[in-house]
Structure 1
Amino acid sequence: MNSDFVPIGQASKILGVSIQTLRNWEKTGRLLPDFVSAGRTRRYSRRRLLSIAGLTNQEAKEDQKTTIAYAWVSTNEQKEDLSRQIELLELFCAKNSFTYEVISDLGSGMNYRKKGLKKLLDALLNDKVERLVITQKDRLLRFGAELVFTICETKGVEVIILNKGDGAVGFEEELAKDVLEIITVFSAKLYGSRSKKNRELLKKLTETAKDQL
């Protein structure tokens, strides 16, 4: 018999499925033998099986989910903290033998269009993430972290927080900076107003925010 054709036993090994699965595929028309002898012996083209196996492996590779380790800081002054976060995340993922990708952001906590955050959300929504690892809960988003966690729960994504302390001091400092940022954005409009009351309100808000820094 031509070695280019193999019996059902060899075919099942090449494809990595059981003989019964091949028989079921034949019944449903999914994969038919290349020919069947008078004695009902089935033969499959080795070349065709290898091609099918290659496509199957490629599909499995494309469907493979990964671990995403996400790090974020809001200002350039915190770049050292960002580096520490990334180092901790890499050490943890490597120690646990995860297939992982580190995504990091540097930008305002009020900015929901950060490049890294958008990449993370796209991966979550497209079922590409097996688990999400962050150093602290407030290293994900200033506001809206619970929404991301809900998406993870819906998608069956495990969330790992390395340090479950609340990090309240850092949070309050960065929140105050975000408030100052909001005030700055609207300050021109407020100062442009004829209302002395608006100008006084702006001054008080600015002073309150700075007291938190």
Structure 2
Amino acid sequence: MFRRLNEVDTIIVEYPDRLARFGYNYLKEFAKSLNVSIEAVEQNKKLGPNEEMVNDLISIVSCFSARLYGARGERKKKKTNNELEKERQVQNINENNNESNIDKSKRQTEINN
């Protein structure tokens, strides 16, 4: 996004938190240093510093907990896939053993006849 920022004069967003959940003011100052203005079409109600910090912390915790739960889901998928693969291998071994037993019994029958 910032690679070609020198080609832009203005960045327009609907709400400031659509550009960044937290650290919006840092982005705005960075853009200003490159002579780019950031304009928000809709302004949220003005929050006090404590309320703003609480909202930022909630956003951070929500983001990281979503990543954590997503990672746990991926681990469960891998575990399930590994278990299924082991079951398939055991089933293949059993089928091979059954086939070899059938072959042995056919041979025995042929020898006896």
Q: TM-score range by the shorter chain?
A: 0.3 to 0.5
The structure with the greater share of residues assigned to helix is: 2
Max radius of gyration: which structure?
A: 2
The structure with the greater share of residues assigned to strand is: 1
What is the TM-score with the length of structure 1 in the denominator? Answer: 0.25
What is the TM-score with the length of structure 2 in the denominator? Answer: 0.43
Q: Flag the structure with more relative contact order, 1 or 2, with Cα contacts below 8 A and sequence separation at least 6.
A: 2
